[in-house]
Amino acid sequence: MKSFNDHLIAFLNRIPITSDRAKWMDEFRAALLELFPDVDRIAININVYCDPIRPPTMCEDPISVRFSNNGKKDGLAISQLLSHQSVAEEFEAETGKFVPLKKYHPPKYFHYFHESGQYYGSMIFFREIEKPKMSQKTFGTMASLEPFIKYIYASFLAMQNAAKPFGAAFRDAQNKMDHEAGFSTQESKVMTLMLCGYSYKQVAEHLSISLNTVRSHMTSIHRKTGTRSYTELFAKYFVPVAAEHLS
């Protein structure tokens, strides 16, 4: 019979080394589930707008674009990160949207931040309601692993940014546009979703607003940026930043 140390070594050996978001989430989740037999389900959340290599002064009031549900677009959530508490509370409030909470004991949340305040991501552990609750040993182990798990998140984000420099360019251009244009939080969300490939209808459904409200936000976005189309938006904000990143 394997000891806990054997299971811990197996967990460390299974840590994924990849810049593929969906693969990283799947393999990381599988490694955690093997380490903790009293956990039945794990939701992993990653803030793809975080860059642990960038100086903290360049990340003031960032927009967070987070993926759960194996990194697929239908698991995307966005918000403006104003404090540790706000992002933790928002993420916990969203849990019921993608997990049937009645099937489980109250979930256990783990939130991870860089010392600069940048939000790396979160994890949620679930235990089925008809089974005994998760053990204190599991919580203690997660507490002791916190520095290492922060490192796992930071390593993945650094690999993703290195493998996909246009993603970093997109993030920087989006932040530049937000700050210069003075978007409201809702306008930032609409703009980010549109740039992620959402239609007006999908934006309205995702944000629980009407199509007319989406159109109104887009009109305001173009007015504030002095543009009339996506082509002009990209030419003004994204092309120069992309050229800088890819040069």
Domain limits of the chain?
4-163, 165-246
φ, ψ for residue 114, nearest 5 deg: -75, 155
For domain 165-246, give the fold.
Arc Repressor Mutant, subunit A (1.10.10)
pLDDT of the residue at 168: 62
How far apart CA 127 and CA 93 sit, in angstroms, is 18
How far apart CA 65 and CA 78 sit, in angstroms, is 5
pLDDT of the residue at 81: 45
pLDDT of the residue at 159: 83
pLDDT of the residue at 60: 43
Residue 145 Rama label (left phi>0; alpha psi -120 to 50; beta):
alpha
For domain 4-163, give the fold.
Beta-Lactamase (3.30.450)
Per-residue pLDDT of the chain (247 residues; tens, 9 = 90+): 567 677 778 888 888 888 888 888 889 999 999 999 999 999 888 877 777 776 444 344 444 544 454 444 444 554 444 455 676 777 787 787 778 889 999 999 999 988 777 788 889 999 999 999 999 999 999 999 999 999 999 888 888 777 665 566 666 777 777 778 888 878 887 887 777 677 888 888 878 889 999 999 989 988 998 888 877 877 777 766 655 554 5
Instruction: Give Cβ neighbours of residue 146 (< 8 Å, ≥ 6 apart).
Output: 110, 112
- Residue 203 identity: V
